[in-house]
Amino acid sequence: MGSTGGRTRGAPEPGPRAAADAPYAATDDPGATEAAARARNGLVRRLTEDGALTDPRWWAAFEAVPRHLFVPYYYEAGEGRVGSYAAQGSGSAGYARLCRDDPDPSRRARWLAGAYADAPLATRMRGGELISSSSQPSLMARMLEALEVADGNSVLEIGAGTGYNAALLAHRVGDERVTTLDLDAEITDAARAQLAAAGFRPAVVTGDGARGWPDRAPYDRIIATCAVPSVPGAWPGQCRPGGLILTPLATGLIALRVPDAGHAEGRFLATPAYFVPLRGTAPPPSVSTHGIPPRPLMDDSFRFLLNLVAGRMEPVEALALWEHEDRPGRERYGVTVRGDRQWAWLDDPEGPYGWPLGPGR
């Protein structure tokens, strides 16, 4: 199902790889390649200025990997049908489809600008549901830096998406050390083709993300680009001792150290994160705001707590805790996994504030 590359990248060379932009030049216009390179350099400059990119090795990866090759089309909300390239079908009503091959030069330019905007892009819809997207580049950069990848690390990515994140990882550690996984064969087929077009060949496999991919374990790092209601039990068991798992959970990002197969623990990053749920998992519990005045609901840190304790604490209790503890930010919360048990906590895994995660929430 997957394919592994026979080529390892060493230390990345600064500067974009112009040859990788060739597929954009469908009109045989040299200016198209130059436009893509300029747009990519502009994105890297913005990410660096905003502090999302601080590690030169990830800076080099973002400069070298052409995002536009991974989003040959995407959807913009709110425009509806636009010419012959308007969104079609029940899954994309009310969306404009921007496409690399649009015959209108102005719409091609708009597509390219969007491909290098610091914004998430809806790339695949089905039955009115968004099932795959390309994440906001600044969030991707922060996640990759938080993953603390070292030379020689092997990485499992849960949620192949367009393949862009896997390409960044492959640029950093080499094709043969990256595995990207998705439940949907249509998504993995497209990701594999787009990776190859950009010159990357990590292993792209189709399977249940909650089960990981034991065939290529153990991994030094596991990163999920989809949200989970709790940490799948298979993931710590597929990490090497000392490994790291980074996953979206409850509108946050939890970074878990894995001392052994049965244990994982860590804190949330300060960064908010909103991802498409991992397909095949139970939906997160509904978040109630009953009895909560409007002002706390405008505070991101309180909304995060409501998501974290949904189904385990009444909203008014959550508000009382939040106010008593001086409105804690995400980074004061953490998650512990011990065998079949896992829970979220505030400040201390053994402290007074803890909430079970997993089935039965």
**Is residue 287 a contact partner of residue 343, using CB atoms and an 8 Å limit?**
no
- At 22 the pLDDT is 42
- pLDDT recorded at residue 358: 78
Angle at alpha carbon of residue 123, lines to 53 and 282, rounded to 5°? 90
3-state secondary structure of 301: helix
Which residues, 6+ apart, have CB-to-CB distance to 187 below 8 Å? 124, 131, 132, 160, 161
pLDDT reported for residue 90: 32
User: 88 φ, ψ to 5°?
Assistant: -120, 150
pLDDT in tens, 190-202: 999 999 999 999 9
| pLDDT tens column, 225-273 | 999 999 999 999 999 999 999 999 999 999 999 999 999 999 999 999 9
3 state SS of 167: helix
Q: What is the pLDDT of residue 195?
A: 98
Q: Distance between CA 196 and CA 204 in Å, rounded?
A: 11
Which residues are known catalytic residues?
132
* Proportion of the chain above pLDDT 70, given as a percent: 86
Task: Please tell me which residue, 87 or 119, carries the higher pLDDT value.
Answer: 119
Q: What does 104-138 look like in DSSP terms, one character per residue?
A: -HHHHHHHHHHHTSSS-EEEEEETTEEEEEEPPHH
If DSSP codes are grouped into helix, strand and coil, which group holds residue 91?
Answer: helix
**pLDDT one-digit tens code per residue, 129-176:** 777 889 999 999 999 999 999 999 999 999 999 999 999 999 999 999
Confidence of residue 3 (pLDDT cuts 50, 70, 90): very low
- Two tokens, residue 103: 């015959």
Give the integer Cα–Cα distance in Å for 326 and 211.
Answer: 38
pTM of this prediction?
A: 0.88
Distance CA 293, CA 214 (A): 47
For residues 163 and 56, what is the distance between their CA atoms, to the nearest angstrom?
22
pLDDT band at 18 (very low <50, low <70, confident <90, very high): very low
Please report the pLDDT score of residue 116 as a whole number: 97
How many Cα atoms within 13 Å fall on the side-chain side of residue 248? 23
Q: Compute the average pLDDT of residues 278-299.
A: 90
- The model's confidence at residue 78, banded by pLDDT at 50, 70 and 90, is low
Task: Write down the pLDDT at residue 132.
Answer: 83
List all residues 6 or more positions away from 203 whose beta carbon is below 8 Å from its beta carbon. Answer: 2, 3, 4, 176, 178, 179, 180, 216
Task: Report the b/e string of 241-259 with b at 16+ CB within 10 A.
Answer: eebbbbbbbbbbbbbbbbe
Residue 67 to residue 57: CA distance in whole angstroms: 17
Kindly report the three-state secondary structure assignment for every residue of 20-60.
Answer: HHHHHCCCCCHHHHHHHHHHHHHHHHHHHHCCCCCCHHHHH
304-to-106, 171, 212, 315, 331 alpha-carbon distances in Å: 40, 33, 27, 12, 11
Which pLDDT does position 146 carry in this prediction? 98
Banded pLDDT at 31 (limits 50, 70, 90): low
Per-residue pLDDT band for 89 (boundaries 50, 70, 90) equals very low
